[in-house]
A and B are shown apart, each in its own frame.
Chain A
Amino acid sequence: MKMNGARIMLECLKKEGVDTIFGYPGGTVINIYDELFSFKEIRHILPRHEQAGTHAADGYARATGRVGVCLATSGPGATNTVTGIATAYMDSIPMVIITGQVPTPLIGNDAFQEVDIIGITRPCTKHSFLVRDVKDLALIMKKAFYIARTGRPGPVLVDLPKDVQIAQTEFVYPETVEIRSYKPTMGGHPRQVEKAMDMILDSRRPVMYVGGGAVLGNAAEELTALCRELLIPVTTTLMGLGSFPENDPNSLGMLGMHGSYCANMAMTTSDLIIAIGARFDDRVTGKLTTFAPHAKIIHVDVDPTSIKKNVRVDLPIVGDVRDVLIKMIKQADKLKDKVTAFKTALAPWHDDIAGWKEKHPIGYKNSTTIIKPQFVIQKLRELSDVDAIISTDVGQHQMWTAQFFQFNKPRTLLTSGGLGTMGFGLPAAMGAQVAFPGRQVITICGDGGVQMNIQEMATLVQNKLPVKIVILNNNFLGMVRQWQELFFDKRYSSTCMELPIDFVKLADAYGAKGFSTSKPSDVEKIIKQGFKENGPVIMEFKIAREEKVLPMVPAGAALNEMVLNA
């Protein structure tokens, strides 16, 4: 059947199983919107800003594991997606971004709302396509989804000129796709897995260091099984939280700049680090020359460029982390006797770890007169559903959430780890709530970040998305203020927000419910009230203004040089 390009694009989305897109209309996508008007199989959510639409598609993808899709018009619509695309790229989130483009004869002429979005996004997309002929559109869409979701996932941009949307052709969706230049290695090499297991069983101070790859690769179950079988302590990065239950005795919590004392000490004194889908980011390693000086390193990752990029590696395994973990479990099964001996030999290591946990647990000093942010996070964990989805912005509240919420299930924490994007939390929660209308979705924000995409309150109310917005308000850009306090002699340059916002009135203006308190005794009551509401809610907690995130490894210091109290 002959169709125009706009319709073909929608049919392709349907074929890929897409049920929701986040998009914003404009001149060069008006033909797509005209087709959408009568295309009932796809739900369209209209955010109030394209950046938020992109984060929402990202949040949808993080929560579900499926490809998130967003749509924007050419020019400013397209450039507004860039922060969202870069956020997804840094955290390897599968997304397809469709942008309108000026008609092909006008490309390069500086036409109205023309921008070279392929050029602008080249360094922050996994790949991109400019569709120049409607006959290529279906194959390009097939390739875009295939590239976005396979290997190390990532955002793929499809730039669709207006004349291509209007042009007609026969719609045939390819059943399969084969790209000769793109063949990610998925199966881990069996011999390498055998070697890895030998190294593990020979070690006496092993640590499993787990990153976002374990979440993205749906490997939480296998990871948990292997570590429980071998009694190997597990520490995760921010992105890896939820891949191993933090309530398990073998969990060390998060490592790195604001990681736990025991996790950072374990890494520093370990004799074998098994990195699973992690990339040795500078926030994790601290000073590289003193990082894990006694450890051999096994690195499992689907992306070969992650291996040996920052640290030396003794045994690389390229492949899907889930596949490798399954092979490791099978290999451990074959070596039952050695495994038993290994577990016995780990006793002194477990004693060391228990000692560190007891010496400096993650903690804070509570107060009866002023709300401590950590207390709010603990109350949120206590009062929220087991499968609640939490999103955060970036800064102090994000680290407190990572330290105190205790994540036990994968895909329950949506946070911008790599790029560190303020304004991510609220729209990402929106995307997750669209995907899971029946689940509790909570975004934990600071007063700075929440104002970067606060306009999405309108989208929440309009679409009846009951996201619970928790604002830890210290009237500061808290993380930068903390650095100024510790490293810049308390010169609080432009980090005080000065103008206090009435968030209750703001919620009211959008037609949502708002609660606010500065009393510790009200915290539980407000959370309970907020959770009971059927619609979106703002819960503002005016917290201790100069509370710090601790422990902290100062930038450039070694992992074991933590500031524990300051």
Chain B
Amino acid sequence: MQHTISVLVENEFGVLSRVASLFSGRGFNIDSVTVAPTNEDGMSRMTIVTRGDEQILEQITKQLNKLIDVIKVIDFTDGSGIEREMALIKVTAEDENRAEVLRVVDIFRAKIIDVTPKSYTIEATGNPVKIDAILDLLRPLGLKELVRTGAVAIGRGAKGWKG
């Protein structure tokens, strides 16, 4: 089962490698990982998408908490979070396909951010499932290049992570 975990970390030298080596050293999977600074000084936030059963997820959460630079671990598995991901997609767009690509972009409320006579580059944002769906539609039309950010997640409701 796939899980999305937010990890608040001290913005210290080497913290990304500590988290990454924890996953590789203990044989946990990483499907995606993103990291960037937050609104608080010296604090970064990582979003990790991983997979495993309940026992593995418990170990992942505990092991992350054990790292000295980790301030808080939030598990969004129970649907308490909202997830978004962005993808930049370069597709072939020639002749009759050109109109079809535009229709798909329109349906998914995506944007064309670069255009040439032979291609479109698309920016799509949404739940990772939605990104998968637009890719499924674009693939037969000629998908040339893809870059995804990996998911970011935030809790639902009025409360911040501190409660």
| Cβ of A438 under 8 Å from chain B | no
B interface bracket (residues with beta carbon within 8 Å of A): 10 to 19
Query: Which A residues touch B13, using CB under 8 A?
Result: 130, 132
- The stretch among B62-70, B80-88, B107-115 that forms the contact with chain A is B62-70
Contacting pair A123 B59 (CB below 8 A): no
| Cβ of B21 under 8 Å from chain A | yes
> Chain B: residues with CB nearer than 8 A to chain A?
9-10, 13-14, 17-18, 21, 25, 55, 58-59, 62-63, 65-66, 68-71
Query: Which B residues touch A123, using CB under 8 A?
Result: 21, 25
Besides the contacts A122-B18, A308-B59, A309-B59, what 15 more A-B pairs have beta carbons closer than 8 Å?
A: A119-B17, A122-B14, A122-B21, A123-B21, A123-B25, A126-B68, A180-B71, A181-B9, A181-B71, A182-B68, A304-B65, A304-B66, A305-B62, A305-B63, A308-B55
Report the minimal beta-carbon distance from A125 to chain B, rounded to whole angstroms. Answer: 10
**5 smallest beta-carbon distances between A and B, as pairs:** A181-B71, A127-B68, A305-B62, A123-B25, A304-B62
Contacting pair A303 B66 (CB below 8 A): yes
| Cβ of A179 under 8 Å from chain B | yes
In the docked arrangement, what's the CA distance between A180 and B11, Å?
A: 13
Query: Which A residues touch B63, using CB under 8 A?
Result: 305
A interface bracket (residues with beta carbon within 8 Å of B): 10 to 19
| Cβ of A388 under 8 Å from chain B | no
Report the minimal beta-carbon distance from B68 to chain A, rounded to whole angstroms. Answer: 4
| Cβ of A346 under 8 Å from chain B | no
Report the minimal beta-carbon distance from A86 to chain B, rounded to whole angstroms. Answer: 12
Query: Which B residues touch A303, using CB under 8 A?
Result: 66
Query: Which B residues touch A179, using CB under 8 A?
Result: 68
CB nearest to B20 among chain A residues: A122
Report the minimal beta-carbon distance from A177 to chain B, rounded to whole angstroms. Answer: 12
Contacting pair A305 B59 (CB below 8 A): yes
Q: Mind listing 28 A-B residue pairs with CB under 8 Å?
A: A118-B14, A119-B17, A122-B14, A122-B17, A122-B18, A122-B21, A123-B21, A123-B25, A126-B68, A127-B68, A130-B13, A132-B13, A147-B68, A180-B10, A181-B9, A181-B10, A181-B68, A181-B70, A181-B71, A182-B68, A303-B66, A304-B62, A304-B66, A305-B62, A305-B63, A305-B66, A308-B55, A308-B59
In the docked arrangement, what's the CA distance between A119 and B55, Å?
A: 29
Query: Which A residues touch B69, using CB under 8 A?
Result: 181
Report the minimal beta-carbon distance from A298 to chain B, rounded to whole angstroms. Answer: 18
Query: Which B residues touch A304, using CB under 8 A?
Result: 62, 65-66
Query: Which A residues touch B58, using CB under 8 A?
Result: 308
Query: Which B residues touch A127, using CB under 8 A?
Result: 68
Report which residue of B10, B21, B68, B70 has the largest number of chain A beta carbons within 10 angstroms of its beta carbon.
B68
Query: Which B residues touch A181, using CB under 8 A?
Result: 9-10, 68-71
Query: Which B residues touch A118, using CB under 8 A?
Result: 14
Query: Which B residues touch A132, using CB under 8 A?
Result: 13
In the docked arrangement, what's the CA distance between A309 and B62, Å?
A: 10
CB nearest to A143 among chain B residues: B68
In the docked arrangement, what's the CA distance between A304 and B59, Å?
A: 9
- Residues from 276 to 320 in A contacting B, C-beta threshold 8 Å: 303-305, 308-309
CB nearest to A124 among chain B residues: B25
CB nearest to B63 among chain A residues: A305
CB nearest to B18 among chain A residues: A122
Query: Which A residues touch B21, using CB under 8 A?
Result: 122-123
CB nearest to B13 among chain A residues: A130
Report the minimal beta-carbon distance from A94 to chain B, rounded to whole angstroms. Answer: 14
Report the minimal beta-carbon distance from B17 to chain A, rounded to whole angstroms. Answer: 7
In the docked arrangement, what's the CA distance between A308 and B55, Å?
A: 8
